[in-house]
Structure 1
Amino acid sequence: MVKDIQLRISIEEETIADILLIKAAQALSINRKNITGIKVLRKSIDARKPTIIFNYKIAVYIKEPLPKVSEYQFDYKDVSNSKSIHIIGFGPAGMYAALRCIELGFKPIVLERGKNVKDRRRDLKAINRDHFVNEDSNYCFGEGGAGTYSDGKLYTRSLKRGDVRRIFENLVFHGATDQILVDAHPHIGTNKLPKVVQNVRETILNFGGEIHFETRVVDFVIRNKKIQSIQFQNGKEMTVKNVILATGHSARDIFYLLHKKQIALEAKSFAMGVRVEHPQQIIDSIQYHCPGERHELLPPASYSLVQQVNNRGVYSFCMCPGGFIVPAATDNGEVVVNGMSPSKRNNLFANSGIVVEINVDVDLQKYDHFGVLKGLEYQKDLEKLAFTAGGRSQAAPAQRLTDFVEGKLSGDLNPSSYQPGLNSAPLHSLLPKLIGSRLRKGFEVFGQKMKGYYTSEANIIGVESRTSSPVCIPRNEQLAHPQVSNLFPCGEGGGYAGGIVSAAMDGERCAEAASQNS
């Protein structure tokens, strides 16, 4: 017999050996000797009150052995000589599309503009140290996409789009810790993701797939409403049958290419703002109600904030406890910031995007002459502004949080995790009013919700602009583009995902759709 039960465990109880066994026996009114195993299904922390509680959902096995086999078995086949499906982009959507193709008996041929994870590290170092951005190999482009070097947070609200547990178990199959199957807000960590991504690559190659790095797509040859072939930057061309387009939200050249070829696109609402960075100890003290150091059993605290300001959402995005801020530009002449955390989340700082919802139909009328690309052009203009305000390098414009709200230039800035450096800038006047004024009000409200959050010890750093794609590539019920029957827009770049998990699920769906089109 197996029974699922909920348990609430205090911090003091958490230190007791076999506490789950003890509590489970009490809850079920049975002898402990009859419990043959306990499987933790979910673990979360309830820190709403000073007495902090660990919430457990567990499966209790009564006179029955604990199963050792994973819930999922991944049936990878030798597809060396099978029909091919071409996948452009090797981020989460592209990786999972390729893996699903192999399960379905199709050969994935992956075309990735960037480098593999090992070689990619040198280009990331060049951004941080030399302020040089390789437009094909950076924090957004390369093996594993933006997810590889930007944290690996796996929390998603997209529960209706696919099987989240399957996505997690596949990550575990490829080397991720099985703790992600339990945590309410699972996270792999920037330091551990590259190995997982490398293992995915090896699976694809071992079962007959192909992966071509440093292969940027520059054109599509389209006849009779189908892509006949793909052309590359090196002048080579490849004949294709079905194409999954999983290039991510920052592949602007792909949006320009599709627009030039009169393939329908749609402007899409998105969000932009800044990164705010606090000492982690401040966030811990607020969230855990502790004036000093947090308890050793508690992880670095996170937060989630949202507020409506003048009919637009202002909210936290990609919160990174114990993390650091990184330069996420994809070209020189722009500054973009993002956040990430190592697996232990043991850095001194906590950072989060604080962004403002932008309605492309209402807020960007001055950009209407750009048509469906107006959001993209607006995004670019703010990134160029940040580049200039930061000193025309990858140093980022920054301001103390309180100075930003009060409209004062900061005489000096707090220490920061951002390696290229910060330059004091009047972001309160540089940011467009539709963003800046809402951020200022939002920070005031957040300070009321989290006492101590509004502080001069925090910096705001600009700009956080790549929250999602400002362009949507439409698709029909078969997940193909309505004008190009063998093109399957996928993941964040298509406008159909908002993170690693949702992108992975969409990648699987597009692989299934492309296989049915073969």
Structure 2
Amino acid sequence: MHKEFSFQVSPETAANAEALKHFLARQYGLPYDDINHIEILKRSIDARQRNIKVNLRAQVFLKEDFQKEEITPPSYKDVSKAEEIIIVGAGPAGLFAALRCIELGKKPIVIERGKDVRARRRDLKKLNIEHVVNEDSNYCFGEGGAGTYSDGKLYTRSKKRGDVNRILKLLVAFGATDQILVEAHPHIGTNKLPGIIQDITKTIREFGGEVLFDSRVSDMLITDGEVTGVSLKDGRKIGAKKVILATGHSARDIFHLLHNKGILIEAKPFALGVRVEHPQALIDQIQYHTPNRGEFLPPSAYSIVKQVGGRGVYSFCMCPGGIIAPCATSPGEIVTNGWSPSKRDQATANSGIVVEIKPSDFAIFGDSPLAALMFQQQVEQKAWMAGGKTQTAPAQRLVDFSRGKASTSLPETSYKPGVTSVELGEVLPAFVYKSLQKGFEEFGKSMKGYFTNEAVVHATESRTSSPVRIPRDPATLEHVQIKGLYPCGEGAGYAGGIVSAAIDGEKCAEKAVYTMN
């Protein structure tokens, strides 16, 4: 017999199986010797009070042995001779679309402009050390897309969009820890993700799919309003009646291609700001109300939202125990993002702190569907200029930033290309700068100790979401003009992270396949 309970315990009890067994026996009147196994189903931390608690949901097996579920990939069959579906982009949306195509009996041809994980690492090293930006191989483009180096945050509010647990189980089947099924805010870690991505690619190929690296799409082939395939930069043409476009939020050339061909796209509001780095120990002290978090609590995250002058100012992609990375996709721009290893054991914590950008803000670029993109690009280029025309990021201490004062010195940060002191009011749009100045002061009122010159502000955090939406029919998921074209994932404006992109990839694959049968 087994029973399910939800309860709160101290972090020490949660970390000790024997202590947890004693607690359950006392709390629910269970015979201690009858408890054979305690299986934790969900875990979260409640740090709202000084006495921190861990929320647990668990199955308790009484006089019954526990058999752990073995999570394996679906029973894929060979699709090498099946009808083909082109998938442009090998990020989470594209890879999960490809797996779903195989599961449903169609052959995916995944076309990725970037390199495989192993070759991609060399380009990332050049970016960090030599400041050389490879437009096709960087933190955004290559095997696994931006997801490979995003640290694998899997928390999503998109539960109405699809089966989140299915995506998490697939990730476990391909090598992720099964703790992502348990944690309230699961993450995999940048050091673990590449191997998982490689296993997915290997599986696609093993069952008859194709994955083409170093292959940039240069044109969409369309006849009488229907897609017939794609052309590649090297001159190759690949034909198919269905194309899933999963190119991510930074594939600006694809947005320009669609616009130049008269294919409908729309400017979309997004958010833009900076990436802020604090000592992780300071964030732990603030969040856990203790000088030392001890051995039973993980490095603390934070999530905060304020309204400043009618605009949202909020944290984005917070990385406990992580580093800041250079994520430019073209020379002449600076873009920052953050990631954490699986143990989140770095000395610093970082987060994007961004301001909502409204249509009226990018109206300076007219009514072009690329107006928001141009606004985003302009800020990134100003950061590059201010940083000395390298990947060195313009930066400022946090209190200095809010007071409009240039920092006379900067501490060493985790951003490997380096930082240089710049008054960031010269880089950011005035309304973004002023919103952030006030926002940081408001953050400090809610999180005592956050507003400190120990923290460093790096410009810019600008790739929060796509500045373009590619409209599609909500029923068929096809583009509203082009039959057989399925805009998908973050780049099309229909996802906001690994899990939601993977869900959207599967949905687009299903729609594409069902109309072929």
Q: TM-score, normalised by structure 1?
A: 0.97
Can you give the 5+ residue segments of structure 2 that lack an aligned partner in the other structure? none
Number of aligned residue pairs: give it.
Answer: 515
SS where residue 60 of structure 2 aligns?
strand
Distance in 2 between the 1:502 and 1:228 partners? 28
Aligned to 1:209: 209
SS where residue 331 of structure 2 aligns?
coil
Aligned to 1:367: 365
Distance in 2 between the 1:72 and 1:16 partners? 29
- One-letter amino acid of the structure 1 residue matched with residue 420 of structure 2: N
User: Is contact 1:89-1:248 (8 Å) kept?
Assistant: yes
Aligned to 1:285: 285
1:400 and 2:368 are equivalent in the alignment = no
Aligned to 1:60: 60
State the Cα distance separating 1:21 from its structure 2 match. Answer: 2.5
1:462 and 2:459 are equivalent in the alignment = yes
Deviations 1:375-412 (A, max 9, x none): 00000000000000111000000001011100111111
SS where residue 363 of structure 1 aligns?
coil
Aligned to 1:151: 151
- One-letter amino acid of the structure 1 residue matched with residue 472 of structure 2: R
- Inter-CA distance 73–217: structure 2 relative to 1 (3 Å threshold): closer
Aligned pairs for 1:40-189 within 5 A: 40-70=40-70, 74-189=74-189
Aligned to 2:505: 507
User: Is contact 2:227-2:484 (8 Å) kept?
Assistant: yes
Distance in 2 between the 1:485 and 1:15 partners? 54
Aligned to 1:7: 7
Aligned pairs for 1:300-379 within 5 A: 300-360=299-359, 362-369=360-367, 371-379=368-376
User: Is contact 2:278-2:348 (8 Å) kept?
Assistant: yes
Distance in 2 between the 1:162 and 1:72 partners? 20
Distance in 1 between the 2:16 and 2:3 partners? 23
1:471 and 2:453 are equivalent in the alignment = no
- Inter-CA distance 356–338: structure 2 relative to 1 (3 Å threshold): same
Distance in 2 between the 1:47 and 1:204 partners? 42
Deviations 1:165-212 (A, max 9, x none): 111111110011111111111111111100000111111111111100
User: Is contact 1:486-1:517 (8 Å) kept?
Assistant: no
Stretch moving more, 46-55 or 443-452? 46-55
Distance in 1 between the 2:398 and 2:255 partners? 35
Aligned to 1:448: 445
Aligned to 2:411: 414
Distance in 2 between the 1:483 and 1:26 partners? 64
Distance in 1 between the 2:427 and 2:84 partners? 50
- One-letter amino acid of the structure 1 residue matched with residue 485 of structure 2: L
Give the alignment's Cα RMSD to 1 decimal. Answer: 1.3
- One-letter amino acid of the structure 1 residue matched with residue 19 of structure 2: I
Deviations 1:89-127 (A, max 9, x none): 000001110111111111111000000001000000010
Deviations 1:31-53 (A, max 9, x none): 13333432211111111122111
Distance in 1 between the 2:3 and 2:269 partners? 45
- One-letter amino acid of the structure 2 residue matched with residue 232 of structure 1: L
User: Is contact 1:395-1:420 (8 Å) kept?
Assistant: yes
Aligned to 1:497: 495
State the Cα distance separating 1:374 from its structure 2 match. Answer: 0.4
Aligned to 1:483: 481
- One-letter amino acid of the structure 1 residue matched with residue 301 of structure 2: S
SS where residue 411 of structure 2 aligns?
coil
State the Cα distance separating 1:71 from its structure 2 match. Answer: 6.9
Distance in 1 between the 2:376 and 2:69 partners? 47
Aligned to 2:200: 200
SS where residue 372 of structure 1 aligns?
coil
User: Is contact 1:325-1:417 (8 Å) kept?
Assistant: yes
SS where residue 18 of structure 1 aligns?
helix
State the Cα distance separating 1:312 from its structure 2 match. Answer: 1.2
- One-letter amino acid of the structure 2 residue matched with residue 102 of structure 1: I
User: Is contact 1:242-1:517 (8 Å) kept?
Assistant: no
SS where residue 369 of structure 2 aligns?
helix
SS where residue 337 of structure 2 aligns?
strand
Distance in 1 between the 2:427 and 2:328 partners? 19
Aligned to 2:239: 239
State the Cα distance separating 1:281 from its structure 2 match. Answer: 1.0
SS where residue 479 of structure 1 aligns?
coil
- One-letter amino acid of the structure 1 residue matched with residue 30 of structure 2: I
State the Cα distance separating 1:30 from its structure 2 match. Answer: 2.3
User: Is contact 2:150-2:339 (8 Å) kept?
Assistant: yes
- One-letter amino acid of the structure 1 residue matched with residue 225 of structure 2: K
Distance in 2 between the 1:227 and 1:221 partners? 6
Deviations 1:293-324 (A, max 9, x none): 32111111110010011111100000001100
Distance in 1 between the 2:77 and 2:33 partners? 44
Distance in 1 between the 2:413 and 2:331 partners? 22
SS where residue 480 of structure 1 aligns?
coil
Distance in 2 between the 1:182 and 1:470 partners? 34
SS where residue 512 of structure 1 aligns?
helix
Aligned to 1:19: 19
- Inter-CA distance 322–180: structure 2 relative to 1 (3 Å threshold): same
- One-letter amino acid of the structure 1 residue matched with residue 26 of structure 2: Q
State the Cα distance separating 1:70 from its structure 2 match. Answer: 4.3
Deviations 1:433-487 (A, max 9, x none): 2211111110000000000000011110000000000100011011000111100
1:384 and 2:381 are equivalent in the alignment = yes
SS where residue 356 of structure 1 aligns?
strand
- One-letter amino acid of the structure 1 residue matched with residue 386 of structure 2: A
Can you give the 5+ residue segments of structure 1 that lack an aligned partner in the other structure? none
Distance in 2 between the 1:244 and 1:377 partners? 25
Stretch moving more, 446-455 or 55-64? 55-64
- One-letter amino acid of the structure 1 residue matched with residue 483 of structure 2: S
